[in-house]
Structure 1
């Protein structure tokens, strides 16, 4: 049973301090953490080690972006638990402008393990967002399908084992995650860097979506500097009632947008590790 879900945003990004940064993985739009962000990630790990053992995460599911895997690593080391790469937790990009190509996509778990040895590559991503981008409703749909399948997967394989998972992701994705899990797409939330939300399963929950209640929302009290650089959907730029288009990655115009969407059939969630 997945009775508790922790959700953390990545730490403070290097590209917020300087334009002179290099992608470690070679992927465009994939900045590492700044030194301050690394400290935030370490503070997150200290917080989790301060909890009783039966309250600590038992596994980490992370977005494949470098900054999220960097944030996950101190927790993985401190608790001795694996990092599973889940593309369904990826960054949110608004729809690409026509003719501008596709958004970048990080590599596989096996590829990323060369940078982060604590990754367990046996997990197969449940969901892949379209490289064509998403509108606001679509990112909620994506996240809802992903987390529902992920929780059902864990509960199907090990129904008697208590699972407490940590999801490490990005601001927009986190807001959508919390909203889907508590069943309220209008919930106001502004997660800051390395802020933490804690959700617990309702005793009378009939399903995953709407089956959790928030015990902690975008909290930064575990960090000396508190929560920083918060973001919410109210910050997006709207034109004609829709989020404005983004530019695709130059040179990607001929690439194929595949795989896309849910990678498991409904109720077919066995043996993905």
Structure 2
């Protein structure tokens, strides 16, 4: 069967976005692979409850594909458990790291993730007959054009891989990151750039933390029927991000929190380095 409905969710509120620490180390030991804050875990539960109780049974997803980064799997977990769905990991849904970044984090392998999330991942990507990565981010970082093309390749291969591995599935849910979520959407809607607008009024894709997009096949392409939905979140939209505006669309308080958290994390890392040198 062909895929007819695609849900795309962004991960929940990250632990390095909160104003005050302590800031937990990445459970995988990989730079930038930060876990969710408690608020993000709560958001993930709200999303899972929404998918279970508010989505018509005929429209519920039948399969989850997640980024391998820890925060995305944490966000996917309540939905996977609520709907009892298979969940596969795909590098093609991973985070966007700019080419000018000093280091490009490489996510944990599936074996490590299965140890960290017992029972969550249904299909080992490393197995001979398992889910195959539909695209791979560059180890040297990506431009905006690169992530757009990565998502184009991902979608092309995803439809073939889903037909091969899950031939009865018509509805899927992706768990990913803001930039990847936006790039996927712009590809599905037939645009040629991540910075295109959806219409002449300048409308763009919205990507708050733990927000949800929904795309439905039309026969001639795809239409968007949810754009950054956060109706199920008790605190509404937070940390909205776009290629056009960065975090400027977030509230002033959100921006203040993010900048303060970044400064606090840098200070905490500096203190650890100083303590190590003193030893």
Please classify the TM superposition score into its range, dividing by the shorter chain length.
0.7 to 0.9
TM-superposed deviation, 1:53: 2.1
Following superposition of structure 1 onto structure 2, how do residues 50-129 of structure 1 map, counting pairs within 5 Å?
50=53, 51-96=55-100, 100=102, 102-117=103-118, 118-120=120-122, 121=124, 122-129=130-137
- Give the count of matched residue pairs: 227
Q: Please list every run of 5 or more consecutive structure 2 residues that lacks an aligned counterpart in the other structure.
A: 125-129, 198-203, 248-279
The 1:32/1:158 distance shift into structure 2, 3 A limit, reads closer
Over 6 Å off, 4+ runs: none
What's the counterpart of residue 225 of structure 1? Answer: 235
TM-align CA RMSD? 1.7
* Corresponding position of 2:215: 199
Residue aligned with 1:130, SS: coil
Looking at structure 1, the residues matched to 115 and 165 of structure 2 have their Cα atoms a distance apart, in angstroms, of 28
TM-score normalised by the chain length of structure 2: 0.77
Other-structure match for 1:49? 52
Q: The residue matched to 2:188 in structure 1 has which SS?
A: helix
Contact 2:98-2:143 at 8 Å conserved across structures: yes
Matches of 1:133 and 1:158, distance apart in 2: 31
Report the CA distance shift for 1:25/1:157 in structure 2 as closer, same or farther (over 3 A).
closer
TM-score between the two structures when normalised by the length of structure 1: 0.79
Computing the radius of gyration over CA atoms, which structure comes out larger, 1 or 2? Answer: 2
SS of the equivalent of 1:234 reads coil
Consecutive unaligned residues of structure 1, counting only runs of 5 or more, are 206-210, 238-273
Q: As a proportion of its length, which structure holds more helix?
A: 2
Q: Is the CA contact (8 Å cut-off) linking 1:96 and 1:103 kept in structure 2?
A: no
Matched residues in 2 for 1:201 and 1:144: separation? 16
